[in-house]
Structure 1
């Protein structure tokens, strides 16, 4: 770094309340480490923001010095967009506060908060809002892409429960977006990702969910799983809204190479009411194993924290399916193989949509896949770099086997698909509207380290 750049960086450090980290500083390597251990990029500097004024200063500094901007909320994005090589990482994680107003049933959530903090603050009053399935996920990234969770069939996606946003634009200005104020931006922030600025505060509606939940899982051999899953599929149309139906195929942890098909559901609310669905599920076949657990809602939100923890190399792919045919079920169970068996196969899962998600008109938010029946994901985690090629190829084969039945993709589940993936995530009319919004708020594509919606001006530059 030149002497001039060092002096400018020192002035930035003097200006902000948070910290500026440079390579070699204590805490730099921890700050640049994200959930996917394959991401090993080194920003020129990291600004750990203590408040909105720090975010504004960081954006303006990056613009003045022509530095690429990455924005870190929770750091769960598998692509690692938060970490710009030789750029400026705006780290929101110090801005992790949550304030709950139980009387109004509202939560004000800073842009760097994790889901677990939101859950704990809300559950102290018996309240909650749709907030993913893993507590160390960032609220910001989850919500801006849509935000699925165990409450979505009952209360809508995370983005459906936002009542207002506070945003720092590419010019370093602060704007608010709600149904009454900047309504087009409000529309785009509910599903359009981080394309329009840096959200420093969300206001969520909360719901009286209580504090209890039920988790049901029936395990079948692969040979018996096909018939069980066909019956599970038939339950999707009639399942009560407090129930989110789940299915998964993976290798038995106690018998490597032996696949197990699991079907079940998660119920948020009175477990006694939830157990009424257990009879129809048991009628689908005789499982090799059964687990029925009454848990707290907080325990439910944390149950996958270890499985989806940090320090592993990660890869995932996903699809939305509007129907689940017999052939799609078979492809799902076989995971891109001839017989469902093989070394280092990824897990694959289905999670039901519908209910309150489908109640929202498709034009009301940038999240447009309101007709989704189930979301498919396949994911894998490993530690050895020498396995990268094999692991990624296996996950791609698994996803490719199901793709002929897909009707789109969840933007938060995109990986390395680039513009093709963006077109799968947004229907043509939605993408056109998002592009117009990008033209208005970020015509120079300052915020492009995301699943990018390029402004029209930038598209023309590339074409010429």
Structure 2
């Protein structure tokens, strides 16, 4: 197994321990992930991906796929294996006439947002610009436009995919339709996506973020009112809530006409203030690009991280009481984000993504710097989120961590798992792609 043989087949760069750029390449978003691949292959095109994949299989090397590196588990970084680094493949090409974007597999959300907003267009993308387009889309893709335009995966027209045998295929509604179905929510189980084609929507890029802050001791009733109002919110509004320490913020993010947004926020303020006066109001008009980058520093790459998440069809009072039981040390921060709208318009059978009847996504996310706190932080997050699991209707596959097969059963129904397994049997019967939230082929 020699580096020279690998370099002869790759148009991009090959990095090994000690090389300039190697440590940067192996460093991902979660600072708990500190692994050392034997090689990092910085791919320049789909042919490089296919060559790297063949090399890994021929030499019995574990391999992982890196784009943004935001996966909480760090599957992209195989210790002693081969990392396929897609980041050199980061181009975004927009056709404003057809309202389509071709996005290479290593692109980050920020590149997609900038390129599309130049033409007054956008498609649903996540909330942190240094997230990879690939991982977000393959798991589903929630963002501020989802209640208007559907999830990121709902806006994919086609995928270019390198499959387990090194073939390069295009998956769409007409070509490889079962693979196309599985890639929209089934994660990285079926191949390496080297190009996405997205449908775009006219979006002038005007947004408002509004937060109303309360001490935790008096926040329960305002949050109940916020929950009730979310059920009838316009699709331009995504209701959000966060709990950090003893600070509770409830509000919404509006993407659309600013006058209508201002009226919706004023109405929310009146309704909340009738229950309890907030200690602070934060209302920020901003561009769509500013909205898409405002959490970049908070979600930076230098923190140790762990999270647990749930989907809820409703936030009943008993569940919210549990959310506010925050007396022990090291409790994680909480975020709640409303679903519904265009997400629920898509029939659940149309894509691998599941649980479209979700009303709210809940994430308990811990971040810290001291490695000595690892077990205490993770245990607290497990206990806190575990107390609410009996109310959950499932979980988002992109938020699964160390959940194994039990996590997959939360993310997909039995029927969906059976269909995904059939696609796995057809495209990856040897489970070559297993460093992921793994859907095993039936023979394994």
What's the TM-score once normalised by structure 1's chain length? 0.94
1:244-393 matches, within 5 Å, as 244-251=238-245, 259-282=246-269, 283-285=271-273, 286-334=277-325, 340-393=326-379
3-state SS, counterpart of residue 204 of structure 2: coil
Q: Count how many residue pairs are aligned between Structure 1 and Structure 2.
A: 440
Question: Structure 2 stretches of 5 or more lacking a match?
Answer: none
1:314, CA displacement in angstroms?
Answer: 0.6
Partner of 2:65: helix, strand, or coil?
A: strand
Paired with 1:284 and 1:215, the residues of 2 have a C-alpha distance of 16
Q: Which residue of 1 aligns with 2:217?
A: 223
Query: Which of these residues, 98, 103, 113, is aligned with residue 107 of structure 2?
Result: 113
1:21-60 equivalence runs, <5 A: 21-60=15-54
What is the match of residue 74 of structure 1?
68
User: Which of 396, 413, 428 is equivalent to 2:382?
Assistant: 396
Distance 1:345 1:362 in 2: 34
Q: Higher mean Cα deviation, 12-21 or 149-158?
A: 12-21
Residue aligning to 1:422: 408
Q: Deviations over 1:85-136 (max 9, x none)?
A: 1111100011111000111111100001000000000011111100000000
Residue pair 1:261, 1:333 contacting (<8 A) in 2 also: no
Cα drift, residue 341 of structure 1: 3.6
Q: Of residues 4, 8, 28 in structure 2, which corresponds to 1:10?
A: 4
Instruction: Give distance in 1, aligned partners of 2:298 and 2:43.
Output: 29
Whether the 8 Å contact between 1:353 and 1:375 is mirrored in structure 2 is: yes
**Partner Cα separation in structure 2 for residue 398 and residue 96 of structure 1:** 38
The residue aligned with 1:125 is 119
Whole-Å separation in 1 of the counterparts to 2:399 and 2:9: 37
> Where has structure 1 moved over 6 Å in runs of 4 or more?
none
Whole-angstrom distance in 2 between the partners of 1:112 and 1:330: 42
Q: Distance in 2 between matches of 1:237 and 1:78?
A: 31
Alignment of 1:413 onto 2:399: yes
Q: Quick check: 185-194 or 390-399, which moved more? A: 390-399
Distance in 1 (CA, whole Å) between partners of 2:384 and 2:151 is 27
Q: What is the Cα deviation at residue 24 of structure 1?
A: 1.5
CA distance in 2, matches of 1:303, 1:218: 18
Distance in 2 separating the partners of 1:78 and 1:232? 30
Query: Which residue is 1:462 aligned to?
Result: none
**Whole-Å separation in 1 of the counterparts to 2:183 and 2:263:** 38
TM-aligned CA deviation for residue 311 of structure 1: 1.1
How far apart are 1:281 and its partner, in Å? 1.5
Equivalent residue of 2:141, what SS? coil
- Residue segments in structure 1 that go unaligned for 5+ positions in a row: 252-258, 335-339, 459-464
The residue aligned with 1:91 is: 85
SS in structure 2 opposite 1:421? Answer: helix
- Kindly report the root-mean-square deviation, in angstroms, between the aligned alpha carbons of the 2 structures: 0.9
1:276 and 1:435 map into 2 onto residues whose CA distance is 48
Per-residue deviation at 1:342? 4.2
Q: Deviations over 1:256-280 (max 9, x none)?
A: xxx0111000011122211121233
Question: Structure 2 CA distance, aligned partners of 1:151 and 1:209?
Answer: 10
For residues 168 and 412 of structure 2, what CA distance do their matches in structure 1 show? 27
Mapped to 2, the partners of 1:154 and 1:324 lie a distance apart of 22
